[in-house]
Structure 1
Amino acid sequence: MAEELVCEYYETDTQYRYRWNLPALPGSRFTFEVQANNDAHVALSSQNQDLDAMYEIVLGGWGNTQSVIRRGKQRTNLAKVSTPGINSPTEHRAFWITWSSDGTIAVGKGDETEPFMQWTDPDPLPIAYAGYSTGWGSTGRWKFCPSARPDVCEYDDTDNQYRYRWNLPPLTGSRFTFEVQANNDAHVALSSQNRDQDAMYEIVLGGWGNTQSVIRRGKQGHNHAKASTPGINSPTEYRAFWITWSSDGTIAVGKGDETEPFMQWTDPDPLPIAYAGYSTGWGSTGRWKFCPSARPDVCEYYETDTQYRYRWNLPPLTVSRFTFEVQANNDAHVALSSQNQDLDAMYEIVLGGWRNTQSVIRRSKQGNNHATVSTPGINSPTEYRAFWITWSSDGTIAVGKGDETEPFMQWTDPDPLPIAYAGYSTGWGSTGRWKFCPSARPDVCEYDETDTQYRYRWNLPPLTGSRCTFEVQANNDAHVALSSQNQDQDAMYEIVLGGWGNTQSVIRRGKQGHNHAKASTPGINSPTEHRAFWITWSSDGTIAVGKGDETEPFMQWTDPDPLPIAYAGYSTGWGSTGRWKFCPSARPDVCEYYETDTQYRYRWNLPPLTVSRFTFEVQANNDAHVALSSQNQDLDAMYEIVLGGWRNTQSVIRRSKQGNNHATVSTPGINSPTEYRAFWITWSSDGTIAVGKGDETEPFMQWTDPDPLPIAYAGYSTGWGSTGRWKFCQSVLSEGKFEL
């Protein structure tokens, strides 16, 4: 579904009393929207209750004219800002509050990155919960949504004293990004502890009157790298920088969105790095901004000389794809090994050997050429060229270029070697510059070919969900089997695409078994292009088959006695060969489809609910019912939501099946018998049940249960003369979870 922010809505009265019904705070930022006349108050506490020692932020106090930060409820105003009209009684206004390890509390508006109010507590309090209140004659309507903002930033100022601040959290990767506004001498230290040490790295940006930058191994130590950088800092605007470090000791420094460093040095005896400190000095103050990096291409850069010698300083390979860029005259070599060292048995890929004219795949260093391809000019000494290498469980090594999806060279090893590390080298008179970045490609694909023998291949990894996607190029008879084991079984499903001379498709329960579903599909396969398909299966035994990006299946069948599915096999036959492509699906809407009849009877075949939001689409004439229960069955105490009852004119919320209507809304025409309509239901810890439509963020109906029921399952039904077609999709939520 398109809705990504799962929000909770609450109201506060004119009583100055904090509500503590929000979940624990997961980070150092709290965002919210509020509609109030004045005096919107937020408390930050170590417990979900009022404490003597807690922070209080007042927005629009004193008749909506001023805002303050306090250290205690109704205590001294430690920060005070004139904010006339900051709240509105007619529209939601968005705010954010951040806190950092040095005790800085910062308050800002909406999408603004700079706070309008902040204060630094010299004795910071722990923060784990947020409370909210209105008062002084004002009510409030509050909206709390998971923040979708990637730039949750911390701000700090440094004086002209050369003294490192160590108040940032520990570094979690090998890249540190920041922005600084300074006249000169912006210094960053990288240390194994959050304090100055004799052995630490020091990066100076714009020293010597903002003319030079250096890398040192020690505070005020020797300049191991030095670059001319006139005007690199600015006293009037933020300038962005990044620093990376790698396992071979290379410290690289770059600017903003530039991918190439302007300064780097390789320490022959690398120091451990866990913390970053920052300082200004030599007459300059600084304003610093630290944000989590949104860059997906955190890259490492290395150089190789003309000696044919593999470097093994890259981290272990975690998937079956390796991507890189290289700038070389010829002979860019990559080795794939089970250990981070040269082995007798390892794969060697040569790109542009023989004076940049040929490429090969070998099963050992300088071994036999098992695949040889003419590739004149494949490398360049003046620009980076991008390549990828994939390997699959059947032993196929495939090599491709850049964004191309088809390999230009491949070979299948009949006795595959394990692969866990990649090494790289140049030689034969060529040096190399290498760039290794985490791959941003979602389609890390495997390729295979099948002959005319009707024989399933079971070399794919286990299925991890209830959907299998693939592409196939065939004349006819592309077969897919779904089995509980990675082998043929008597009890398995068989899907035939384009059998009978590419005219019909079927679903079977057994190899060459009875055709339980049959669809006319003339020309469904193509011998000249890949055609995309998907197969889904659900807990009620429904096998559905569809094409490409289509959401509706063209063929489906429900097995009354469902078989377990864990593996997929594939085959061609009947005179047809096949070229197959298997890629992880990039589709977020992995959906299940069901139908309900006119009997008012809840179906409980959906998986347990994992979050406090349930989304669905339904096509019905009237009376689409959803039940929310603590068990996957009807209970006396469960919520019932009726959409379009009373001949599609009203919707209600109940606390039992056919119980009292606790909320009733006029909704003429809410359902449609000819198209899917999308809805969402949310529930919160204070008992509020909210119901909304499609992409709308505001509910059209809600009710707060004073004695909330636990919710773990959803059921669905139609009735009163109406049938229903239902669609349940895994919605990708902002916190990265999946739900039905």
Structure 2
Amino acid sequence: MKSIIIVFILTNLLYQHCFGYTEKRTFRERSKIHCRLRKQCKQYDEWDDNYREMMQLSDVPGSQPEGYLVRFPFYALAERDAHIVFSETENPDWFVDDVYEFVFAGWENKRATLRRKRQDQELVFQYTDEILTKNSPLKLLIEITSAGDIRAYVEHTLKPIIEFKDSNPLQIKYFGFSSLGQSLARYFYDCRGDEVYTKSQLQSQCQHVNTTSNEHTQFHRIPDNSITDTDQYSIEIPLYVAASHDAHILLASDNSFNSIRNGYEFVIGDDINRRVSIHKIGRQSTSTLADFRRADIFLPNEVLNLIVQISKSGKIELFSKHDHTQYKLLASVDDHSYDLSVNPLQYISFASFNSTPMDFYYDCSMAPTYIDTQLATKYAAVGHPLLLEDPTFQTPVDKRNWLTSRCKQYSNFKYEYKDFIKLSDIRDSKPNGYIVRLAFYAQGTRNAHVLLSRTATPNLAAEPVYEFIIGGWVNSRVLIRRKKSDVNPLQQVFVPPILSAQTPVKFIIEVANSGTVRIYAESDKIEPIASFFDPIVLPVNYVSFCGYDNLVRFYYDCSGQH
């Protein structure tokens, strides 16, 4: 009863704030997202564990796209126990019928789980660190593919908090919400601005430019209705980009590149999809205003949602959104900008690099996907996304305990690849666009060896492989080889001591479909410590670990979130 009264008071305060009452700034910032959700989403409140109302998925636009039984984003505002169920019928027999029941922040906000029957044995569960809060709605995304791949994400995480493979997936058509033990849970769903649009939808509802041109030759009028706050912004443009790298977007005062008096060019994903920059163009001169290093700006087979904002005070910001994550890509201030009232930005132009085909979509008739710029600014950290997701540990023991509870382990003393693990059995190791993208941790004094091979029984004396040597030669080198023990490595880099006997160190090995081979370390989250381009990329399927006359402990296939 006490928790109901507390949440009731909080709800009334939020209601007052949404409709114009003045509150302290800290409360305004907390409640901003709640105000938007009240206006743009459907809302459902529940105190108990009874799914009182089952609703049709077909009534929620976009919840069952091609290839999915359900793809359901929603928000939960609760102290604990946010429950959602998916069923094949509107009135399931809870004691008999199979369903998918997800529980987030159960067990006093400490666990997430998936069940095949209501309140039955868990198919999978993960320990979490109090992901729900009564002060701020949390976005969650549930995906169940037609092939039976089940994943649940928490916003701003790359790995699913719940992951399961169902060989006989339910043909679900209904969903419902509940809570537990008189704890109020408030849900927001079917939200305007949270839609994920396909290319075909964008083509039918937006102005579409497909280009392979390396020059800005075609100029289009900037839509007059794109600015949501005319008092604050001179320019605010939402757009979508389908590319792999090097997308160029130019905002200009004139419709010819050679006569531009005032303009800004955004270059997104150059340097092999690892950099974003902005350049000021005007009166026959060009200068760089900002240049930031990023990693994996464009993701394979996904359309990147962007918003460009230029304030009247000269502040320039570029935000991006990938599904359930959103980031500030770039920020700068043009202190010496031309007066936009004299030379206003009226045109937009798009270009490619090296004749790479790409698609740009702008001036869309549907409501633009919402990007919370305040929240995106909070998650503006640069670097490889898989190296940014771990928590901060106070001691090496904390880190080892955290990994022990979430990862598989392998130890090997000799320079001998004895056991080969199938990459397809390691979660998230073969995402779209990559032959392999392997995250792992190594703990030892020197010589952590990782080998990628095509088969489980390679002839290492003759067959080509990818061998990575981390901390070789008394913990001072990183090498990439095409054959085991090859004296002529593809890449060799001298490094400061990179391994630790006490603390596991995280590494990322990538072999992209394009042939780019890279290895990252947590000591530098932006730049790979070694990389090369392989024109004949190996279709590797297995991984093996070992040391070199010293014990190295590897942690891999890690699950769960923090």
Larger radius of gyration: 1
Question: TM-score, structure 2 length as denominator?
Answer: 0.37
Specify which structure has the higher proportion of helix. Answer: 2
TM-score normalized by structure 1? 0.30
Larger proportion of strand: 1
**Higher RCO (CA 8 Å, separation ≥ 6 residues):** 2
